[in-house]
Amino acid sequence: MRVLGIDPGLGRCGWAVVERGPHGTTALGYDTVTTRGAAVAPRLAHLAARLREVVARYQPDAFAIERLFVNANVRTAMTVGQASGVALLIAAEQGLPVASYTPSQVKRAVTGTGSAPKAQIGYMVRALLKLHAVPTPADTADALAVALCHLHHVTSLGAGEAAGAGRGNGAAGHGEHAAAEPDAGRANGAARTGRGIAAATEADWLARAAPTSPWRGP
């Protein structure tokens, strides 16, 4: 599965394409679209054009976006909402299935805690995807985290459905559960790439994430 993750924003909109395959989970491309100026309409048009280019280049199977949450700054909330609308429009144009996640859901999926700081998200994204450096700016790292969150959600959902089918057919022994487990195992195994991080700070965060992080092994 190939997922386009979006961290919406008008001034800075992070995007990331992450693919889960038989050999692991890989970041295919990621960046942050930056717009400036007093007029909002041209900035939204620029954002739309860039996101269309990303979709055309990477051909994602699914679209995941961080859900707008209540913000005390009305202006910030408004611009994030505008950028979210543009991103959702692009997904609808391409017929992509859309999933949205709250910031705490994204943090929990990647770090094991819904209150993780920005720096921890960046380090975990780097570790999980075996990147050479922490993605910057933070909008890019957040978009990668959103994509990882969706892959985790899909994997967990598939494993749960397989487990339910296995229980329902336990007496018959048709093997549906057994057939579904290897794919989930490969996905979880591919995601457990945070081991052996040299930096003390990263190792400490990885240790604190276990065993609550969905991406951590025993």
> Is 31 a known active-site residue?
no
Q: What radius of gyration do the chain's Cα atoms show?
A: 18
Measure the CA dihedral 49/70/139/55, to 10°. Answer: -30
Active-site hit among 19, 61, 66, 181: 66
- Read off the DSSP letter of residue 68: P
Task: Confirm if 44 and 82 have CB atoms less than 8 A apart.
Answer: yes
Q: How far is CA 208 from CA 39, 110, 203, in A?
A: 45, 12, 9
**Bond preceding residue 211 cis, omega within 30 of 0:** yes
> Is 204 a known active-site residue?
no
Active-site hit among 19, 139, 142, 202: 139
> Is 183 a known active-site residue?
no
Which ranges in the chain belong to alpha helices (H)?
40-58, 74-94, 103-111, 118-129, 138-168, 176-191, 200-209
Active-site hit among 7, 19, 142, 202: 7
Of 144, 133, 110, 108, residue with least CA distance to 199: 133
Q: How far is CA 215 from CA 2, 113, 176, 203, 218, in A?
A: 18, 12, 24, 14, 10
List active site positions: 7, 66, 139
